[in-house]
Amino acid sequence: MSRARTLLGLAAASAAVLALAACSSSAPESGDAAAGDDYGLAKAGTLTVATEGTYRPFSYHDEGSGDLVGYDVEIAEAVAEELGLEIEFQETQWDAIFAGLEAGRADVIANQVSINPEREEKYLFSSPYTVSPSVVVVAEGDTSISSFDDLAGKTTAQSLTSNFYQLAVDAGANVEAVEGWAQAVALLEQGRVDATVNDELTYLDYVKENPDAGLEVVAETDPTQSALAFAKDRTALVKAVDEALETLRADGTLAEIGEKYFGADVSE
């Protein structure tokens, strides 16, 4: 009886070893947290992406399906796929988006984050995937503003933590705080503010969808670069994402996504 139990025990142990070996051989390799990644992801095997979900055409909900779509959304999805990771989006207002990153609730921000010296002191950035100027948008026919200097003493609508807010303040504008482009453009169309500063691509997409909006661009900056933003301790993740972006640039994926939303490659 003792010998039989011993044989049964050896058989069970052998089965366990074989099962473990099978699991190991089928486990994803580098890039997947399930294999023991060193990215420090908020959720194992998943890239958690913070985004607004209200910033057309970069991050918004399709009116028909209700799905989260947009240029930044598809860039993030392509990066996650290249890394062999699942993806999960966390929608939040712009003014709170960096707090979630700092608290570790999100691994990355994909929301047209412009690279500037102040942000580079606090965060890490991927290589840029959007190059576009910032523009001053006014009501059509308003001749009182034709440059950034003309914003002095005027009222603009801006998100308080955006790069556009700083541009408006530096020009001497009085800023009406808003949550994003949708509120800013509504105030402008209602005549409650004189202008708003935002990304040219956002403006172009808006007037394409709203040709009778009665808005125009009167000034623009040199092109700015936008990238994925990370906490300072995510160097391994940034390196992997940069490699993924380089692959996506080389195989034409970035250009294809740009063509879909803007009719042109806006990644460089």
In a domain, 9, yes or no: no
The pLDDT value given to residue 264: 87
Residue 21 lies in a domain: no
Is 238 a domain residue? yes
Residue 26 lies in a domain: no
CATH number of the domain encompassing residue 196: 3.40.190.10
201 and 239 co-located in one domain: no
Domain of residue 110 covers: 33-130+227-262
Q: Is residue 14 over pLDDT 70? A: no
Q: Is the pLDDT reported for residue 248 higher than 90?
A: yes
Report residue 33's pLDDT band, with 50, 70 and 90 as the boundaries. Answer: very low
Claim to verify: residue 242 and residue 122 sit in the same structural domain: yes
Q: What is the pLDDT of residue 263?
A: 85
Q: Say how many domains are in the chain.
A: 2
What does the pLDDT read at residue 37?
64
- The predicted-structure confidence for 178-198, as pLDDT tens digits, reads as follows 988 999 999 999 999 999 999
Does one domain contain both 138 and 210? yes
Q: Among 36-50, 71-85, 185-199, name the one with the lowest average pLDDT.
A: 36-50
Give the mean pLDDT of the chain: 87
- Whether the model clears a pTM of 0.85, i.e. scores above it, the answer is no
Confirm whether 186 is domain-assigned: yes
Residue 1 lies in a domain: no
* Res 10: pLDDT: 39
Interval 211-234: pLDDT, tens = 999 999 999 999 999 999 999 999
3-class secondary structure per residue, the chain: CHHHHHHHHHHHHHHHHHHHHHHHHHCCCCCCHHHCCCCCCCECCEEEEEECCCECCCEEECCCCCCEECHHHHHHHHHHHHHCCEEEEEECCHHHHHHHHHCCCCCEEEEEEECCHHHHHHEEECCCCEEECEEEEEECCCCCCCCHHHHCCCEEEECCCCHHHHHHHHCCCEEEECCCHHHHHHHHHCCCCCEEEEEHHHHHHHHHHCCCCCEEEEEECCCEEEEEEEECCCHHHHHHHHHHHHHHHHCCHHHHHHHHHHCCCCCC
- The reply to whether 28 falls in a domain is no
Residue with the larger pLDDT of the pair 187 and 16 = 187
Q: Which of 4-18, 91-105, 170-184 has the lowest mean pLDDT?
A: 4-18
Q: Among 187, 203, 220, where does a domain finish?
A: 220
